[in-house]
Amino acid sequence: MLYYVIKRLLATIPVMGVVALFVFSLLYLSPGDPAAVIAGDIATEEDIARIRSSLGLDQPYLVRFGHWLGALARGDLGTSIFTNLPVSHLIAQRVEPTLALTLCTLVVSVVIALPLGIIAAARAGGWIDRIVMGISVLGFSIPVFVLAYVLIGIFSIQLEWLPVQGYRSISEGFIPFIRHMILPSIALGVIYMALIARITRASMLDVLAQDYVRTAQAKGLAPHTVLIGHALKNAAIPVVTIIGIGVALLIGGVVVTETVFAIPGLGRLTVDAILRRDYPIIQGVTLLFSAVYVIVNLLVDLSYTLFDPRIRY
């Protein structure tokens, strides 16, 4: 097991290396000369050249990549062009709302989609199955922000049940926090739910066709015992895998959802950074989200042993 964990960790190094190289190239290729910006309007050519060499900007590409990696290892993501604050500092300020939103969405999606997928598989071809599959196609087709506005229009503006926009930290009370999380989590989660429900159904159908399920049914076990006790655990691996892969959808959706619901998280930070062309921030957020995605999928891989003891590393 330990051997496998180490092997798997080592395998993420080339992947993160490619991500790092890409993200660094982004900054390297970004238009504009930071040295000229720092030097100001009245600087001479020599001033700019001096600042450039003091910042190491005159070094070749690979040397600069090495320096940048070294800084990264110390947790230094560079300095925001617009606010002049360290990017790591700006990101730390914005992590909480994004983390809250993604975790809420993850929980809501799994809690809703998993049972739907199981029921659809148990009643394959029936009306529940048709409705669940139909809604899942819809879920793939409605963009996050369109759905978000529809939800706001119905539940906040027409019915006035929930707040229109904004974010309350969980430290300001649990009820306000949840009230502000409901609509964003559902809007962000629908495409994720569609994905999970589909895979759960397909995976359950595969398992339900196997001999041991027929044996369990034949010896007179209750249908739900067969479904939950016998089939679900064996159908879990594709489902867990898609939950991990789908995190990429959540991360992409966060950027938009936070914009619609005015949530001051990392997505909002990114959108503001795009409008101001603040490359170090875009770079930092891209790097962070990619790392999270890689780590989540590493954990998913390792979790396979929990569901299937035959898998031994």
Partner 1 sequence: MSAVIADSAAASEAPVKRGFRVWLRRHPTIFFGGVVLILMAAVAVFAPWLGTTDPLALSPIRRLRQPGQEWWFGTDMLGRDVYSRVIYGTRVSLSVGLAVAVLSSVVGLAIGLVTGFVRWADAIVMRIMDGLMSIPSVLLAIALIALTEASLKNVIIAITITEVPRVVRLIRGLVLTLREQPYVEAAVASGTRLHRILWKHILPNTMAPLLVQATYICASAMITEAILSFIGAGTPPNIPSWGNIMAEARSLFQLAGYLIFFPGLFLSVTVLAVNLLGDGMRDALDPRLARRM
User: In terms of Cα–Cα distance, which of 185, 209, 198, 286 is closest to 241?
Assistant: 198
By beta-carbon proximity to partner 1, the closer residue of 80 and 297 is: 297
Q: Among 60-68, 91-99, 146-154, 174-182, which window interacts with partner 1 (CB under 8 A)?
A: 146-154
Number of residues that bind partner 1 (CB under 8 A): 57
SS3 86: strand
State in angstroms the smallest separation of the CB of 280 from partner 1.
Answer: 11
Nearest to 263 by CA among 192, 191, 177: 177
Q: Which stretch binds partner 1 (CB under 8 A): 17-25, 48-56, 103-111, 175-183?
A: 17-25
Stretch 83-102: interaction string toward partner 1, x if CB under 8 A = --------------------
Residues 6+ apart with CB under 8 A from 186: 108, 151
* Neighbouring C-beta atoms of residue 172, cutoff 10 Å: 11
Q: Say if residues 105 and 185 touch (Cβ distance below 8 Å).
A: yes
Q: Cα–Cα distance between 249 and 299 in angstroms, integer?
A: 18
Cβ nearer to partner 1, comparing 109 with 297:
297
Stretch that binds partner 1, among 41-49, 133-141, 222-230, 299-307 (CB under 8 A): 133-141
- Asked if 185 and 155 touch (Cβ cutoff 8 Å), the reply is no
Q: Does 283 bind partner 1 (CB under 8 A)?
A: yes
Q: Per the structure block, which two tokens stand in for 164? A: 């229109």
The number of helices, as runs of H, and strands, as runs of E, in the chain is: 13, 0
Are the beta carbons of 28 and 61 closer than 8 angstroms?
Answer: yes
C-beta of 208 vs 226, nearer to partner 1? 208
CB of 140 to partner 1, least distance (A): 5
Letters for 153-172 (x = contact with partner 1 by CB under 8 A, - = none) are: x---x------x--------
For 40-105, strand residue ranges (E) read none
Nearer to partner 1, 42 or 209 (CB): 209
Could you give the CA distance from residue 143 to residue 27 in angstroms, rounded to a whole number? 30
- For the record, the structure tokens of 274 come out as 């795009």
Kindly state whether residue 182 participates in binding partner 1, applying the rule CB under 8 A.
no
Tell me which amino acid residue 165 is.
Answer: Q
* Comparison of 35 and 151: residue with beta carbon closer to partner 1: 151
> Quick one: which of 70, 143, 223, 229 contacts partner 1 (CB under 8 A)?
143
Q: What minimum distance in Å lies between the beta carbon of 7 and partner 1?
A: 16
Query: H or E element: which one contains 212?
Result: helix 211-218
Gap between the Cα atoms of 99 and 78, Å rounded? 22
219-278 binders of partner 1 (CB under 8 A): 248-249, 251-253, 255-256, 259-260, 270-271, 274-275, 277
- Which residues of this protein are in contact with partner 1, per CB under 8 A? 14-19, 21-23, 26, 29-31, 124, 137-138, 140-146, 149-150, 152-153, 157, 164, 198, 202, 205-206, 248-249, 251-253, 255-256, 259-260, 270-271, 274-275, 277, 279, 282-283, 285-286, 289-290, 293-294, 297
